[in-house]
Amino acid sequence: MEEDEIAIRFDRRKLDALKVALYAEGEDLDQSLEKYIGKLYADKVPKNERAKIERQIQEEINAEQEKQDRFIAVRLTDGEETVCFTASGSNSFYGVAGQLKDMLKEADDSTLDSLLEYFIDAYVMDDRLFDIVAGAPDNPLLQAVMELNFKDCTMSFKGRGTAQPVRYEMEDAEKAYRRAESIPKISGKAREELFRDYLQGREINAADMVGQPVPRL
């Protein structure tokens, strides 16, 4: 919910005396003020306006809950082994790109399932179930589908409402992330926009990859 703080000026001696008096009655100043503001709100704001605001608050709560329930579907492969899983929707394409260098190094040194630690709330599933989950276009909670191919060093991303996945070289995605992170004092949203701008025009397709090695990071 959107909340504001209220600050008022009041003599400190009076405030201390009030706190002592409230404490003696088993009450707290903040709680007492909150109750008074609530009563003032109920007395002064028309009923229909209060009902409208309550609906807006509930809609925000529902939207936040849906956001928390959203997830991504991810497939990792190195040409020999494949690991499929779902993870929290908070795992963004931008965030994954920022970990690519470490993930590539670990993929070289150990098994793919060790990379699950890079994803929040990862839940492993078999290929068949993954195809069902990732192929459900009407699921409102499915935020994105990603595939990371450590054999040819590419990654694909398919967001909500997108008909086809977009594929990039991991090197380009990692460079886009470093470029966005190099600019100080800008918002996270602005960084992600710079990230997407850098990747614009750097998409690849299956035909582009035939016989063409992709450089490691």
The pLDDT of 115-134, averaged and rounded, is 93
Q: In the predicted model, is pLDDT for residue 214 greater than 50?
A: no
pLDDT of residue 166: 93
Q: How confident is the model at residue 150 (pLDDT cuts 50, 70, 90)?
A: very high
Question: Which of 111-120, 134-143, 157-166 has the highest average model confidence (pLDDT)?
Answer: 111-120
Task: Report pLDDT digits (tens) over 73-118.
Answer: 999 999 899 999 999 988 899 999 999 999 998 888 888 999 999 9
**CB distance 216 to 104 below 8 Å:** yes
Over residues 23-39, mean pLDDT: 93
Cα separation of 18 and 38, whole Å?
Answer: 20
pTM above 0.75, yes or no: no
